[in-house]
Amino acid sequence: MNSVNCATALHRLARGGGASSAVEQSLCTITASTFEHEAGGVTARSLTSVAWAVGKLRLSDKRLLAALTARAAAQLAADALDAFGIANVAWALATLHTAAMSATTRTVGLDDECGGGLCDALAVAACARASDFKPQELTNLVWAFATLKWRHARLFEQLADVASARLAEFSPQGLSQTLWAYSKLGLTKHGLFGAVANAALPRLGSFDPQSIATLAWAFANLEIEHAPLAAAVCREARARPDAFDSASCTQLLWGLCRLRDGVEPLSVVALSRRLERVAAAGLAPQQLVCLRTWRLDG
């Protein structure tokens, strides 16, 4: 098998939902060996396909990840990866990092997987073509960097400008996840947050509960007040409290605990009651924090 065959096989496997661990391990070994021996023969397209499949299947194979990282570094050095490829490689690394974190009790550093040098190279390459990123690619990229806890000021500055100019093209999840990334890294971009709020307001009724909760969390985490958005979020919560599951309900309640301008107590009551009902079915202890800390008269 050559690198194209490996990329095709992994891509189809990921599209189909995976296979047995034995089959996946065998394909990982073959792909890693192929990448090591072909080296310069691995195309950007093959690399991008493998990166996406590895992330989708969460294939935490050290040899394959090392080979993938080496090929990505080479492609970046040759300026051969486009915006789609850059976003896919970053997304795959972040997804594998998340999987590694959930599979161990120790703290998994970025260097354990790929080394910070690759993240810096991805950031530099992304800065050189920031305007090329489509909304989903931009969201995937900033999500990846935030998940990896890798701050790159120039990249996030440029992408904030790109996103602000194209917010009408973002999906509800894209809007909320993009702000989540900036908030997670502590990047207070008031211009971007204000622009997203204005873009979200007329569309908030079409937002799924998790996107609403994530959006509110992003503002609350940085203590950025936006009364019209908070009021609109509260209206949605009051209108459909049962649509929120335990995770989104807890996240939204936490956000409303931190915000004040525009927050409506009746919406908080509706969410609190919803959370109490969910608790009867078995709620994690930490998810009760919002109920204990929220004060309607606060």
Regarding whether 114 and 182 lie in a shared domain, the answer is: no
Q: Is the model more confident about 297 or about 2?
A: 2
The verdict on residue 49 lying in a domain is: yes
The answer to whether residues 214 and 178 touch, using CB atoms and an 8 Å cutoff, is: no
The verdict on residue 154 lying in a domain is: no
The verdict on residue 158 lying in a domain is: no
Regarding whether 201 and 96 lie in a shared domain, the answer is: no
Q: How confident is the model at residue 296 (pLDDT cuts 50, 70, 90)?
A: very low
Regarding whether 294 and 184 lie in a shared domain, the answer is: yes
Q: How confident is the model at residue 283 (pLDDT cuts 50, 70, 90)?
A: low
Regarding whether 214 and 103 lie in a shared domain, the answer is: no
**Count: domains in the chain:** 2
Regarding whether 182 and 255 lie in a shared domain, the answer is: yes
Query: What residues make up the domain containing 1?
Result: 1-130
Q: Is the model more confident about 122 or about 290?
A: 122
Give the pLDDT mean for 59-88.
91
Per-residue model confidence (pLDDT) at position 116: 66
Regarding whether 108 and 194 lie in a shared domain, the answer is: no
Regarding whether 4 and 73 lie in a shared domain, the answer is: yes
Per-residue model confidence (pLDDT) at position 61: 83
Regarding whether 76 and 4 lie in a shared domain, the answer is: yes
| pLDDT surpasses 50 at 294 | no
Question: 90-109, pLDDT tens digit by residue?
Answer: 999 898 888 776 654 444 44
Residue 55 Cα distances to 10, 86, 153, 177, 254, angstroms:
11, 14, 25, 18, 30
User: Taking the model in full, what pTM does it have?
Assistant: 0.87
The verdict on residue 153 lying in a domain is: no
The verdict on residue 269 lying in a domain is: yes
Give the pLDDT mean for 260-285.
83
- Choose among 158, 131, 169: nearest CA to 145: 158
The verdict on residue 61 lying in a domain is: yes
Q: Is the model more confident about 140 or about 37?
A: 140
Lowest mean pLDDT among 84-88, 173-177, 281-285: 281-285
Separation of alpha carbons 31 and 265, rounded Å: 56
The verdict on residue 18 lying in a domain is: yes
Regarding whether 210 and 263 lie in a shared domain, the answer is: yes
The verdict on residue 155 lying in a domain is: no
| pLDDT surpasses 50 at 147 | yes
Per-residue model confidence (pLDDT) at position 282: 65
Regarding whether 115 and 9 lie in a shared domain, the answer is: yes
